[in-house]
Each structure stands twice: as structure tokens, then as C-alpha cells.
């Protein structure tokens, strides 16, 4: 049975089809995995009762009852929707997010809730009100964030797939830190209905998995137009696994973004891993072209401003009146508002709300918010121009392997620099996938990301799959699990 721990969704589907294991045996196995290993890891906030799981899935269809873990900012009917915050610690969702409804209907067994940075604001999964999540490769390091619980659970073999949200890199960065696959789709390709928003113009729901095939498979089941989300595109979903045969498209041109490899703080081991990846792609028949995207140097600053502005707006609804935490000792209505938000939100969330209100305030919005929007448009246009010359872009996911727990407690600005390589894709609204590409000398995973043009997920998956099948990194997993 231990062979199930790090099996892919594709392999588990085959075992269920051949009846070498039953759905209930599979659920029992992974529920027991969480009970045995998650105490020190802290990946899950809650694992559901097996009876509820069985009752709330068709257990048929493509996913056949294979369990997945869901980040706790995506609505699941009847279950707690806390966003890792005291503000929502007792709130239960009255409905399913569209992605949850679609995956349940396709046989997905929703096994539980993943930990996250509070309201998805962070890059380490240390800002959760409930617990800190650790990296299964080294428990003294972070798993990344804000979707660190989802990434850690998949990497440790506690669950074969998971969902997260990606606002500035919150799926891809944890995937790189934990040595798994993490993808964010084109903005509007997956419904955001039922996602508690951090920054609505940047948020997308993405997939964690142990293989590119699995990522493409699960993406296929949840993508497509949704009448509940006006930002979704008029695109019919299809099977994105059909063309995954381990080969690259003929004549593929890959652009390496030069100004990322020489960026400040780049770890030489990450640069070496990417250079080795370029050589592997050339062996597979691709040609490498050097590309410069000057506006990327301003992407973190633009992301900082825009995400805070939208966070301030989105979180204004949490006032203690309609739902969520309320300070009951306040003597006046205004005091109740103030004290509820003071006590209900953690320090990182409050800092972002304050900054957001500042950049939107009269006299400052032109200097900060309007200029950030200009940078966003410039980044988008530079990606469009780059894709006229190359088919996909290759970039680091993060400048270095996973950092130590508490490393940036005294330097909060460093938290925002964690998104330096990932937030440009959110600003441009294009798809990107992070896949493992090496190991550091101290045994930590390294990942790079492949970015593709708008709605070109099929090409993105094909390129990533060819690299994955030609290299040894997919099969790696941490010891002790």
C-alpha cells in the first residue's frame, strides 16, 4: 500500500479501473496518512469525515473518487471557510465554489482543507491564524505561500492533488519550494466564483500535482465559462492531456528571459539548474532565444500597489455586522467596527489594508495606483511582443530554494520580493507552470516556470511534459514519508 503514497492521479485511476484497490480503501489510506504525518507538518486545517466525503461526491466519472485537498479560501458547502483568519474562524460556506461543484460532479473526493497565509497574503504560510506549515523536505524551512498547505501535502504524499489560488505566485512558488508541479491558468479560464478574493484582477485558482499530466487532467475538469463569474472567457473546456506524449512541438522556440538570470539575489544553484534545463530542451529539439522584458523589473512594485489596493476594497466587507468575528465588548457601533477589524485580522493583513487605503486615497492614487496600472499594461504589451518571436518563455520560479522559517520576520519588504518572478504572469493574465528542475546541494528542490501566451495552456502543458519525461525530477520526494 505504501506505493500509493506518491502515486500520480493517472496511476491511481489505473489501479481503480483494474480494481486492485477500492475507493473506500483509497480514502482510508490517505485519511490515515494525514493522521500519521501531518501533526508536525501542519499542511491541513481539517480532514473531513469519510462519511461526508462519500456522501458529497459522485465517486464516478474521470476522477473516480481520488481525493484532493482544497485551500481554505475556496468555498465548500457546509464546511468551514476560514481563509486562515480569526475573522472567519467559525464561518461555514452555504454553497460550493464552481471548481468544487465541477470536480465533485466528475468524481473528485474532497478530503479536507489546506492551511494558507491569512487571506492568501504571504509567501511562507506563516501568517495563518491557526498554525504554521513546514516544508516536508526540511521542517526548518517554509513550504512557500500562500498555498503552502496544499503544496506540502502533495509533496509529502498525503494527497495526490490539491487546489490553491495564485495572485502573485501563490501556487507556483510553493510548488517550486516543495518539488512538485504547480500551474496557474489564463485569467478567466477558470471560474473564481466561490474564491474569497485577495486581489480580484489577479486571482486565479490553480492546481498542485505530482506530474504535468495530472495538472492538465484536473485543469481540464474545472476550466470553462461560468455564468456565476463574468470574468470567465467564452472558451469550452477540453482534454488537455491528449497531446502529452513526451515530445516537443516541431520547431519550438523557447525564450529565456535574460534579465531574470542576472537579477539581484539569484542563487547560483538556481541559475545552474535553469542553464541545465535549457540544454535539455535543446536536446529535445527546441531552439533557445534570448529575450529581455525590461518592465519585469517594475512588476513587483506594481503588484505591491495593485494587490494592496484591491485587498483594501475586498476586505472592507469584514466589519462584524453581517458575518464572521465580532468584538462584543465594544460600546459603540464605530468602536465595534474598529475593534472587530483590529482583533480579527492579523498583522500582515492589516499592513496590506493600510497600504491599500493609502494608495487609493485622494492625492496619492495618481502617484501610485494609476502608475501601477500603467506598468501592468506595459508588462502585458511586452509579453505580447515577446510571444511574436518565441513560443514560450522560460524563467526562474524563485531566486533561491526555500528559506528558513521566520527568515523575514524583521524584514517584511522581503516578503513582497518573493513574487518577483511570478507576479508578472498575473499582471499579464497569462498561464504559467512551475516544474521541478533540480536539487540544491543541501537537498532542497529547485523549480523553473514555463509561461505561454493567452489561452495557450495546451502548449504550456506539452512543453512542460516533454521536459518532465526527459528528466529525473518528477519521481523525487522527501524522505520519512
pLDDT one-digit tens code per residue, 336-350: 999 999 999 999 999
Average the pLDDT over 135-139 and give the result: 99
d(CA 471, CA 436): 9
Q: Where are the domains of the chain?
A: 2-247
Active-site pick, 85, 124, 146, 211? 146
Residue 130 pLDDT class (50, 70, 90 cuts)? very high
Question: Is 89 one of the annotated active-site residues of the chain?
Answer: no
From the number of C-beta atoms within 10 Å of its C-beta (0-12, 13-18, 19+), residue 293 rates as buried
pLDDT mean across residues, the chain:
96
- Active site (annotated) includes residue 146: yes
Residue 170 annotated among the catalytic residues of the structure? yes
- pLDDT at 364 (0 to 100): 86
Pick the most confident of 333-342, 365-374, 446-455.
446-455
CA distance 401 to 398: 7
Dihedral of alpha carbons 95, 97, 98, 99, sign: negative
Average pLDDT over residues 404-431: 85
**Active-site entry in 57, 71, 211, 220:** 71
pTM surpassing 0.75?
A: yes
Question: Nearest to residue 281, comparing CAs of 473, 464, 476?
Answer: 464
Q: Is the CATH number 3.90.1300.10 carried by domain 2-247?
A: yes
Beta bridge partners of 47: 112
Q: Which residue among 123, 150, 170, 215 is the active-site one?
A: 170
Amino acid at each position: 500500500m505504501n506505493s500509493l503514497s506518491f502515486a500520480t492521479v493517472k496511476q491511481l485511476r489505473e489501479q481503480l479501473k483494474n480494481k486492485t484497490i477500492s475507493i473506500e480503501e483509497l480514502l482510508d489510506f490517505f485519511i490515515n496518512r494525514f493522521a500519521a504525518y501531518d501533526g508536525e507538518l501542519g499542511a491541513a486545517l481539517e480532514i473531513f469525515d469519510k462519511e461526508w466525503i462519500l456522501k458529497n461526491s459522485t465517486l464516478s466519472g474521470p476522477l473516480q473518487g481520488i481525493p484532493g485537498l482544497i485551500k481554505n479560501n475556496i468555498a465548500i458547502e457546509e464546511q468551514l471557510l476560514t481563509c486562515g483568519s480569526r475573522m472567519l474562524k467559525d464561518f461555514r460556506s452555504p454553497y460550493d465554489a464552481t471548481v468544487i461543484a465541477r470536480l465533485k460532479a466528475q468524481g473528485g473526493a474532497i478530503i479536507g482543507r489546506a492551511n494558507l497565509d491569512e487571506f492568501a497574503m504571504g509567501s511562507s504560510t506563516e501568517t495563518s491564524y491557526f498554525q504554521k506549515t513546514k516544508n516536508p523536505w526540511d521542517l526548518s524551512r517554509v513550504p512557500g505561500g500562500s498555498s503552502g498547505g496544499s503544496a506540502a501535502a502533495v509533496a509529502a504524499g498525503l494527497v495526490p492533488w490539491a487546489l490553491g489560488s495564485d495572485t502573485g505566485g501563490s501556487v507556483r512558488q510553493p510548488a517550486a519550494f516543495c518539488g512538485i508541479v504547480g500551474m496557474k491558468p489564463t485569467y478567466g479560464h477558470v471560474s473564481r466564483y466561490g474564491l474569497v478574493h485577495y486581489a480580484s484582477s489577479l486571482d486565479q485558482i490553480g492546481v498542485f500535482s505530482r506530474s504535468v499530466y495530472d495538472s492538465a487532467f484536473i485543469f481540464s475538469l474545472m476550466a470553462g465559462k461560468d455564468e456565476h463569474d463574468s470574468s470567465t472567457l467564452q472558451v469550452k473546456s477540453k482534454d488537455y492531456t491528449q497531446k502529452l506524449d513526451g515530445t516537443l512541438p516541431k520547431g519550438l522556440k523557447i525564450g529565456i528571459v535574460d534579465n531574470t538570470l542576472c537579477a539581484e539575489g539569484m542563487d547560483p544553484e538556481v541559475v545552474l539548474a535553469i542553464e541545465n534545463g535549457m540544454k535539455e530542451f535543446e536536446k529535445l529539439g527546441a531552439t533557445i532565444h534570448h529575450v529581455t522584458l525590461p518592465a519585469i523589473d517594475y512588476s513587483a512594485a506594481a503588484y505591491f500597489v495593485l494587490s494592496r489596493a484591491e485587498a483594501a476594497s475586498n476586505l472592507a466587507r469584514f466589519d462584524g455586522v453581517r458575518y464572521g468575528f465580532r468584538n462584543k465588548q465594544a460600546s459603540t457601533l464605530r468602536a465595534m467596527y474598529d475593534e472587530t477589524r483590529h482583533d480579527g485580522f492579523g498583522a500582515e493583513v492589516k499592513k496590506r489594508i493600510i497600504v491599500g487605503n493609502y494608495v487609493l486615497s485622494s492625492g496619492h492614487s495618481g502617484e501610485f495606483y494609476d502608475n501601477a496600472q500603467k506598468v501592468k499594461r506595459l508588462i502585458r504589451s511586452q509579453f505580447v511582443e515577446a510571444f511574436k518571436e518565441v513560443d514560450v518563455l522560460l524563467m526562474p520560479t524563485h531566486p533561491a530554494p526555500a528559506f528558513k522559517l521566520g527568515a523575514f520576520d524583521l524584514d517584511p519588504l522581503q516578503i513582497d520580493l518573493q513574487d518577483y518572478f511570478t507576479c508578472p504572469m498575473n499582471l499579464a493574465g497569462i498561464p504559467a507552470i512551475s516544474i521541478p528542475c533540480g536539487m540544491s546541494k543541501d537537498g532542497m528542490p529547485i523549480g523553473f516556470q514555463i509561461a505561454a501566451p493567452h489561452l495557450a495552456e495546451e502548449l504550456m502543458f506539452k512543453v512542460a511534459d516533454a521536459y518532465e519525461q526527459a528528466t529525473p525530477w518528477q519521481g523525487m520526494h522527501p524522505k520519512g514519508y
